[in-house]
Structure 1
Amino acid sequence: MFRYNSPLVQVSLIGLICFCCPGMFNALTGMGGGGQVDPTAANNANTALYTTFAVFGILGGGIYNVLGPRLTLFAGCSTYVLYAGSFLYYNHYHHQAFAIIAGAILGIGAALLWAGQGAIMTSYPPPSRKGTYISLFWSIFNLGSVIGGFILFILNYNRTEAVSVNDATYIALMCFMSAGTLLTLSILPPSSVVRNDGSRPTNVKYSSTYTEAIEILKLFFNWKMILIIPSAWASNFFHTYQFNNVNKLMFNLRTRGLNNVCYWVAEMLGSIVIGYVLDFSFKSRRMRGFVGSGIVALVGTAIWGGGFVNQLNYSYADLPEQLDFKNSGNDYAGPFVLYFSYGLLDAMFQSTVFWVMGALADDSMTLSRYSGFYRGWQSAGAAVAWQLDARKTSLLRQVVVNWSQMTVAYPLLILLILLAVKDEDGKVDVEAAVTTLKPSSPPEREEGFGKVEESMKPL
């Protein structure tokens, strides 16, 4: 039965919001260089973006717990429009300053959005179906990148030479981002969401700035979060290399648009496949985690091995002739399959990490902090990656660094599953501190977290 306050509807809504905002951002970034011939402005803007994201990403979970979902998500999404507009401006004036400032502001906004998204995606669903809901979100979110990629592909189809994307491309993306910003007002606070069994995704009455500051500091000494750091650092690091040094260097403009579409389709497929493994492959939740992580490790090793072999064919000093999907024949097939596989691996890896985090707790306040901590470290890695590319670090060295980081992350993720994920669905190790956050006479707020009643019935 359809219920607006059900986890299914609310996770679908956050998927649509990310469809419109980061989905369109990903479509633009996937073109390489923000759609510009010279990637310098985009590299510097993204460095600023992920630097502020790294700081506010760690704080984002606490901000979400204080402000609630609507205000947090609305503030976050509004910054995406500014970022796309800065490249529209750059198309005409070629001044980097606006793009860099917009990137820094987007870093703050994206931190707020992804902290809220992580809390909703991992805490609203029932414990036994978190992998399925993560797959649902990832599919809707990446469908935005697919459609955004189609927009870029269609609007730039006849532009095969080395040119920047046209104004209409940026304007179309800004329209989607504006719609996503308005859609944030449809999200319900955790206290209003009711699962089919009558339970709710929070058991906390109220939070404060002081409480959140203390709880966020504790994360740096939480052994579970320490084991998550390598996965977080690696999970966005490889995007710079894939977008700028595979898609942008190996293919012409319209082919990059087509590749972009296929990359995000691969993300959707990867999330569906790994989501099934993580929820349905075995009765034991820990076994599902072991199998899912093992599959990702094997697939990832094979794909990065292929990437290493591909990178031996060109360098900055010996750039390849750009391929066209219509005119390059069989020469296009191999690099295309590699790029498609990169998208597949991205979704499988990140879905698995979020599944593991979702298994560590079940209430939205704890998971919002976990998600913010993960996004903060993820963005710190991305900031370093964009600057390495801006400094023209050897392409082969970039491949080796990416492959090595992923290889380190796999066993630590499996160790975390071994030590912290319980077999019994729903009986996870929740941070004890969460239950203590109950100051007297908390103010009533529409966006705040209401008290969960002892007897809960579906609305």
Structure 2
Amino acid sequence: MEEKQISETTRGASPTTLDFTSVEKQGKPWMHRTFKLGPVAIPAYASPQFQIIFVAFVCFLCPGMFNAINGMGAGGQVSAHDVNNANTALYAMFAGVGFFCGSIANRLGLKMTLGIGGFGYFLYVASLLSYNHNQNAGFLIFAGALLGLCAGMLWTAQGAIMMSYPSEKEKGRYISKFWAIFNLGGVIGALIPLGQNLHREAGAVADGTYIAFMILMAAGFVLALFLCDPKYVRRDDGSAIILMKNPSWKSEILGLLETLKTDYYIIGLFPLFLASNWFYAYHFQGVNLPYFNLRTRCLNNVLYWSMQIVGAFVVGFLLDFGSTRRTIRARYALAGLLVLTMATWGGGYAFQELYTRESTLLNENHVGLDFTDSAYAGPVVMYMFYGFYDAAWQVTAYWLMGSLTNNGRKLANFAGFYKGIQSAGGAISANIDARAVPFMTQFAINWGMLAGSLIIAAPVVLYYVKDTVSIEEDLKFSDETITDVAPPSVLAEYKGVRE
């Protein structure tokens, strides 16, 4: 076979790195078999489809339930002060360790990292249950800080799996499927307090709500331990996930520094990362908590996370739409997100003019809006659009990172950067709210950061997102070779070259 006949994907590899006599471990045969459950075909256990959905259910049970209870405002408590301090500790710890969580995940393995990460959510809800009885703010803040560490680990492992397992043409769809299933946890989790508090218009949520969440979260972190080892995962074309075969603490810390050196352009996405969780404190403590009563906050919570599912599917479909080149889709995605930002937050400005902190939380005579009130329709639609917007932002951010590389090791570091910086934003915004900063000021900060970060990200999208990333390029950041990861068809082309 002539070298000119070899595809662009395989060109440029050094023949000296090829060992066609080596046999990569495939795992047990059952791992690669599909199963039928009536008319439903279940993907093979070691397929990207199964593993991403598997991870989505872990997140459904852990952070999905956390989102449900946090989305009621103040973690279901009457006062937001101690919960804001716990959230500040959570996001500060998350931000502090987030940069290093990619190294941790690469060294410990994705399964262990995911399982340890899930435990923190269980303990945090236990601290809320404790707080319901003894107002022990110290335990609540400690649990928040520990959750910051655990959440950094869980979300880094999740991000590496979600961005590196699918093929390039499927990343948008799989990211959206993950986000939809994960937020289904928020929807179902939000139905628990809605049912238990439907006839309560004020006060903290009942103990039974916290206990139900604890049981579900415990199931989540145990489930994480059944994740497939990444070295056994195979895409439909037979290709494997690019990781480090022999990671060490030294190699992964150095790999973190190498990522910042070789992929310095990622810094252009840091403002986008920072803005991506900043608005949660405003949505939950600046809109849902002050403006609505308890049972309506619970209902709003269901609708907010439901719109996340809708937003994830819509945006994921558009990101992988048709045969349009990925570079073009990336530009459309950035422009579309800017338009959505101006439209959503423009409507939010008109809504925020209706109330202040003084007229709601600081007013002893204030009665929150109920879903039976005639004025409920407008505010709830606005709140639902905030949920849609959140999904659009997160799915697009993950897709952009996944467009820069297919290397699982590098994407673990990208995910660590994303979640660490994102959490720094969450810590700062929670602290701003804890200081009773006016709601309109918080709103203006959010809107300005979101719009500005998209403009700063534009050069990265324009110059560094490519239509495809070659195997050779991805392999530069690992100790694997073509024979470890390439699909059989590509290996056959290489073998032909050697012969």
Instruction: Report the CA distance between 1:413 and its aligned residue.
Output: 2.9
Instruction: Report the CA distance between 1:223 and its aligned residue.
Output: 2.8
Deviations 1:332-377 (A, max 9, x none): 1111011100010000011001001001110211101100011100
Answer whether contact 2:407 2:474 (CA < 8 A) is retained: no
The one-letter code of the counterpart of 2:150 is: G
Answer whether contact 2:48 2:234 (CA < 8 A) is retained: yes
- How far, CA to CA, are the matches of 1:219 and 1:204 in structure 2? 14
1:364 matched to 2:413? The reply is: no
1:146 matched to 2:187? The reply is: yes
Select the residue among 286, 290, 298 that pairs with 1:249.
290
Deviations 1:80-108 (A, max 9, x none): 11000000000000120000000000000
Answer whether contact 1:281 1:288 (CA < 8 A) is retained: no
Answer whether contact 1:190 1:364 (CA < 8 A) is retained: no
Answer whether contact 1:65 1:368 (CA < 8 A) is retained: yes
Instruction: Report the CA distance between 1:179 and its aligned residue.
Output: 0.6
The one-letter code of the counterpart of 2:484 is: V
1:435 matched to 2:467? The reply is: no
- How far, CA to CA, are the matches of 1:68 and 1:304 in structure 2? 40
More deviation, 90-99/273-282: 273-282
Identity of aligned residues (%): 41
Q: Name the residue aligned to 2:456.
A: 412
Select the residue among 387, 394, 400 that pairs with 1:350.
394
Answer whether contact 2:409 2:478 (CA < 8 A) is retained: no
The one-letter code of the counterpart of 2:432 is: L
What secondary structure is seen at the aligned counterpart in 2 of 1:360? coil
Pair 244,422 (structure 1): closer, same or farther in 2 beyond 3 Å:
same
- How far, CA to CA, are the matches of 2:150 and 2:135 in structure 1? 24
Select the residue among 311, 317, 332 that pairs with 2:358.
317
Pair 157,362 (structure 1): closer, same or farther in 2 beyond 3 Å:
same
Deviations 1:182-223 (A, max 9, x none): 110121122110000000111532211112112223444543
Pair 407,390 (structure 1): closer, same or farther in 2 beyond 3 Å:
same
Select the residue among 95, 117, 124 that pairs with 1:83.
124
More deviation, 186-195/246-255: 186-195
Pair 393,282 (structure 1): closer, same or farther in 2 beyond 3 Å:
farther
Q: Name the residue aligned to 1:443.
A: none
Gaps of 5+ in 2: 1-33, 35-42, 361-365, 490-499
Larger radius of gyration: 2
Select the residue among 138, 147, 159 that pairs with 1:97.
138
Instruction: Report the CA distance between 1:414 and its aligned residue.
Output: 3.0
Q: Name the residue aligned to 1:441.
A: none
Structure 1 stretches (4+) deviating beyond 3 angstroms?
Answer: 218-222, 426-433, 435-438, 453-457
1:452 matched to 2:452? The reply is: no
Q: Name the residue aligned to 1:442.
A: none
Answer whether contact 1:219 1:373 (CA < 8 A) is retained: no
- How far, CA to CA, are the matches of 2:164 and 2:272 in structure 1? 20
- How far, CA to CA, are the matches of 2:305 and 2:214 in structure 1? 19
Q: Name the residue aligned to 2:207.
A: 167
Q: Name the residue aligned to 2:378.
A: 334
Select the residue among 250, 253, 273 that pairs with 1:210.
250
Gaps of 5+ in 1: 439-450
- How far, CA to CA, are the matches of 1:395 and 1:192 in structure 2? 50
What secondary structure is seen at the aligned counterpart in 1 of 2:228? coil
Instruction: Report the CA distance between 1:452 and its aligned residue.
Output: 2.2
- How far, CA to CA, are the matches of 1:395 and 1:298 in structure 2? 23
Pair 431,388 (structure 1): closer, same or farther in 2 beyond 3 Å:
farther
Pair 298,281 (structure 1): closer, same or farther in 2 beyond 3 Å:
farther
Answer whether contact 1:206 1:437 (CA < 8 A) is retained: no
The one-letter code of the counterpart of 1:452 is: D
Q: Name the residue aligned to 1:10.
A: 51
Pair 430,379 (structure 1): closer, same or farther in 2 beyond 3 Å:
farther
- How far, CA to CA, are the matches of 1:174 and 1:127 in structure 2? 37
- How far, CA to CA, are the matches of 1:455 and 1:45 in structure 2? 48
Q: TM-score, normalised by structure 1?
A: 0.93
| Aligned length, in residue pairs | 442
Pair 48,198 (structure 1): closer, same or farther in 2 beyond 3 Å:
same
- How far, CA to CA, are the matches of 2:378 and 2:264 in structure 1? 42
- How far, CA to CA, are the matches of 1:60 and 1:282 in structure 2? 35
What secondary structure is seen at the aligned counterpart in 2 of 1:435? coil
Q: Name the residue aligned to 1:445.
A: none
Deviations 1:257-298 (A, max 9, x none): 110011001111111111111101552111111112222211
What secondary structure is seen at the aligned counterpart in 1 of 2:45? coil
Answer whether contact 2:241 2:485 (CA < 8 A) is retained: no
Select the residue among 223, 226, 234 that pairs with 2:267.
226
Answer whether contact 2:259 2:410 (CA < 8 A) is retained: no
- How far, CA to CA, are the matches of 2:472 and 2:268 in structure 1? 15
- How far, CA to CA, are the matches of 2:174 and 2:60 in structure 1? 15
1:402 matched to 2:446? The reply is: yes
Answer whether contact 1:362 1:430 (CA < 8 A) is retained: no
Answer whether contact 1:422 1:428 (CA < 8 A) is retained: no
Show the 5 A alignment for 1:48-197.
48-161=89-202, 163-197=203-237
Q: Name the residue aligned to 2:26.
A: none
